[in-house]
């Protein structure tokens, strides 16, 4: 039997494991997408729409050769929990390949988005050799804009997306301007 294989690497940061999304993440993923918290990332959706989004996140890896990882704490009472989804995103119609992050209920305010985005950016620059990267933020999503600032991004002209409307474009520092290339972030 010949076969097609989808391969998704695993990354590790100081506090987090970043692994492939899978069926075990659906309940948390859907709880996020049906909630008002998803209003900045294309939601709220119904459970059907959420299911298709999760399937899309997985298929994205096969289509693009990269995608987003489920972020899960390494230690503590929430070790192994589905805490968010962070990584590299570039569906058709996206202005440029993006570094994106969503954190689920109870995992905000710990710096997880920043920590995981640094690892994702290092992967994009060092493994995929991206020359540059952006992050998109819906107006009003101040928490996400602050993550962009912590990552050293600078605002550029807004982008109008047919589905998401006006979004802020934040440009990440180029690979050669990052102090140690970010390699240590996922070593």
Partner 1 sequence: MASRSIPVIETKRLILRGPEPEDYPNFKSTFTSYRARFMGGPLNDYETWMLYAAEIGHWQIRGYGMWMIHDRVTDKPLGMAGGWKPAKWPEAELAWIIWPDTAGHGYALEATHAVRSHLYRNKGWETAVSYVDPKNLDSIRLAERLGAVRDKDARTVDGHDIVYRHPVPDVLFGSQIEHGIEMEIANYADPLFKPKGMPID
- Positions that interact with partner 1 (CB under 8 A): 1-10, 19-20, 22-23, 26, 30, 46-48, 50-60, 62-64, 91-94, 161-163
- Residue 150's SS3 state is helix
> Looking at beta carbons only, is 68 or 175 nearer to partner 1?
68
> Looking at beta carbons only, is 57 or 115 nearer to partner 1?
57
CB < 8 Å & 24+ apart, contacts of 90-98: 90/64, 90/66, 91/56, 91/60, 93/161, 93/162, 95/134, 95/136, 95/159, 95/161, 95/169, 96/132, 96/133, 96/134, 97/66, 97/124, 97/130, 97/133, 97/134, 98/133, 98/134, 98/135, 98/136
Q: DSSP code of 124?
A: I
Smallest separation (angstroms) from partner 1 to the CB of 89: 11
> Looking at beta carbons only, is 26 or 158 nearer to partner 1?
26
Token pair listed for 127 = 């493994």
For residue 154, the cross-strand partners are 171
The Cα 79–Cα 76 span in angstroms is 5
Smallest separation (angstroms) from partner 1 to the CB of 78: 21
> Looking at beta carbons only, is 98 or 147 nearer to partner 1?
98
Smallest separation (angstroms) from partner 1 to the CB of 150: 29
> Looking at beta carbons only, is 62 or 74 nearer to partner 1?
62
Smallest separation (angstroms) from partner 1 to the CB of 86: 16
């Amino acid at each position: 039997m010949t076969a097609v294989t989808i391969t998704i690497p695993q990354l590790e940061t100081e506090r987090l494991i970043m692994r492939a999304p899978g069926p075990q993440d659906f309940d948390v993923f859907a709880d996020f997408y049906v909630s008002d918290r998803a209003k900045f990332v294309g939601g709220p959706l119904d459970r059907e729409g959420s299911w298709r989004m999760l399937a899309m996140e997985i298929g994205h890896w096969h289509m693009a050769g990269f995608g987003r990882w489920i972020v899960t704490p390494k230690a503590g009472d929430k070790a192994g929990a589905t805490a968010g989804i962070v990584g590299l995103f570039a569906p058709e119609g996206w202005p440029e390949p993006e570094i994106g992050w969503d954190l689920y209920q109870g995992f905000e305010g710990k710096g997880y988005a920043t920590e995981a985005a640094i690892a994702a950016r290092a992967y994009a620059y060092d493994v995929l050799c991206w020359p540059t990267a952006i992050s998109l933020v819906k107006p009003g999503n101040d928490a996400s804009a602050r993550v962009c600032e912590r990552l050293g991004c600078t605002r550029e002209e807004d982008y109008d997306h047919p589905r998401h409307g006006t979004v802020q474009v934040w440009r990440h520092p180029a690979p050669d301007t990052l102090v140690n290339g970010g390699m240590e972030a996922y070593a």
